[in-house]
Amino acid sequence: MKRELKRERTRRLLLDTAKALIQEKGCAGMTLNDIMERSGLSKGGIYHYVKSKDELLGWVLQEWLEETSRRFFAATAYEPKTFERPMKEIVASLPDLENPGSVGNQVFMYLLGKCHQPEVQEVMRQFYEGALQVSKQWIAAGQKAGFIPRSVDAGKTAELFVLISLGLRVRSFISSGDYAFASAEFAKLMAEMLRPSNHQSG
């Protein structure tokens, strides 16, 4: 138990340190030496948890998924079961996709530019598949709770939502201004596709 607690505390320290340094120096400017100095961890202590800076950056992306998922499933636990409560938790995270200064977007774009490296490609593959799996779980949980129709194809719908979210991340770096389709429109699209009133019960 003590070992698990220590591991979780060290993981938290690494994540918090990495995020603070990304905000200060950017992903390219941050080094493992910076993390050592800021966290107080030794080089061996860091390599006990991650093999590289890029793997640690992958943790940052994964944390965003885990936190959004945690809030969603907490919202589904309330009675009575409603569509609005868990949907609100998902919608709350969408504007972050359009913020090029957010840590998650900085990490995503930095790693995307290094996908020619096999280990980085694997980190990004895990992030994509993780996002897809979480989205499927959200829809399946909603169907089980009765506020998303069984007629919704969880696989196709989840993949569409993930592809749009990745597109919003990329666009935040290459374009600015008023958009015809932004996070608010994405939220409306999700609601339209998932609300029971728009589907035949299966």
Range of 72's domain? 58-198
For residue 78, the model assigns a pLDDT of 76
When the pLDDT of each residue in the chain is averaged and rounded to a whole number, the result is: 90
With beta carbons less than 8 A apart as the criterion, state whether 183 and 98 touch. Answer: yes
80 or 33: which leads in pLDDT: 33
CATH of the domain at 44: 1.10.10.60
Per-residue pLDDT tens digits for 88-108: 888 888 999 999 999 999 999
One domain for residues 67 and 139: yes
One domain for residues 16 and 62: no
pLDDT of 14 over the 60 cut: yes
Report the predicted TM-score, pTM, of the whole model to 2 decimal places.
0.88
- Total count of domains within the chain: 2
One domain for residues 109 and 78: yes
pLDDT of 147 over the 90 cut: no
One domain for residues 138 and 120: yes
